Amino acid sequence: MTCAAAILGCAGAVLTPSEKAFFAEVRPWGFILFKRNVETPEQVRALVAELRRTVQRADAPVLIDQEGGRVQRLGPPHWRRYPPGRAYGRLASNDPLFRREITRLGARLLAHDLAALGINVDCVPVLDVPDPSGHEIIGDRAYAETPGEVACLGRAAAEGLIAGGVLPILKHIPGHGRARADSHLELPVVEASWDDLDARDFAPFKALSDMPMAMTAHVIYAAIDARRPATTSRSVMRRAIRGAIGFDGLLMSDDLSMKALAGGFQDRAEAAIAAGCDMVLHCNGDMAEMQAVVAGAGRLRGRALRRAQAALARLPKAVEPFDAAEGRARFDAAFEGGWAA
């Protein structure tokens, strides 16, 4: 049986009978966890295993947003806090190799935490290049203020995750840094020219175009499509994401329940798939919304299925040897005295 071209959330820390039945019927490609789904390590491991049992696939992707800083679904007392992306970019300003080393180490530690729970995808790295006039929704989540440094540290983070058996997701392609609104709440419009977008916003995504997965931005780029956000714009997909950036991995929407998008949930899913997304993401666990999303997304097939298979094939058969205690000590020494966002 084929999978639904969707990644779905669930409502709580355990699956309800209706969720189990629904997931078993529609078989989403993957799942995503949020703070509402997290209590203890034992509980998270059990939930992850149960999600995979519903779809009868031991390798079903289970995603989480574990960036560090403001965006960290797993936290104290059971999991350590990690710095926001910007803290890596501000380490030892005269030593870029050290910044890269510690960024990779931080991601390797994240992967160690996640793999112990059965979570095999992290929605990292953030490759958005911040703009002084942009909304703070990106802010200190960005590694640095230049495309080159964002690309360098973004690749370090992606490599650290993969080494630990966790797949990265590039976000928010083709770039959210100029947006002057929070797409969780409203639809941002970016007025920059194509040349400016290509030179700055697209650049980190070009540098990491070999990575297995990316997540779209719910942002209008007026120079490409003045009416539709990237997630539902065939022009942005073809000209920017698949064209100028050259990304040919699995492309998923950002969360369809964000207020930047309009219309019913079936319509949102249909529009994203029609525009060129391989997969849609729905996060809040609302059953009626999920049913509509699955109806709109359809089944995973053709080129999208091949991209999904290729993404999972990037998981290593064995993780890189790693002394977690030594790694944590080295990481803590790098941030001795805390971190500044």
Write down the residue that tokens 């080494």 correspond to. Answer: 163
The answer to whether the bond into 84 is cis (omega within 30° of 0) is no
Question: How many of the other CB atoms lie within 10 Å of CB of 103?
Answer: 28
254 is catalytic: yes
Among 122, 254, 255, 278, which one carries the catalytic annotation?
254
Quote the radius of gyration of the chain (alpha carbons, Å).
19
Among 59, 95, 184, 248, which one carries the catalytic annotation?
184
According to DSSP, residue 199 is labeled I
Q: How far apart are CA 241 and CA 234, in angstroms?
A: 10
The C-alpha angle with vertex 219 and arms to 216 and 222, in degrees rounded to 5, equals 125
Contacts (Cβ under 8 Å, ≥6 apart) of 117: 41, 44, 45, 48, 74
Contacts (Cβ under 8 Å, ≥6 apart) of 330: 105
- Give yes or no for a contact between 106 and 88, defined as CB atoms under 8 angstroms apart: yes
Q: Which residues face 255 on adjacent strands?
A: 281
282 is catalytic: no
- 108-136 burial code (b ≥16 CB/10 A, e <16): bbbbbbbeebbbbbbbbbbbbbbbeebbe
Q: How far apart are CA 26 and CA 34, in angstroms?
A: 21
Contacts (Cβ under 8 Å, ≥6 apart) of 209: 245, 246, 247, 248, 249
Write down the residue that tokens 């355990």 correspond to. Answer: 14
Q: Which residues face 190 on adjacent strands?
A: 221
Q: How far apart are CA 65 and CA 121, in angstroms?
A: 9
Active site residues: 184, 254
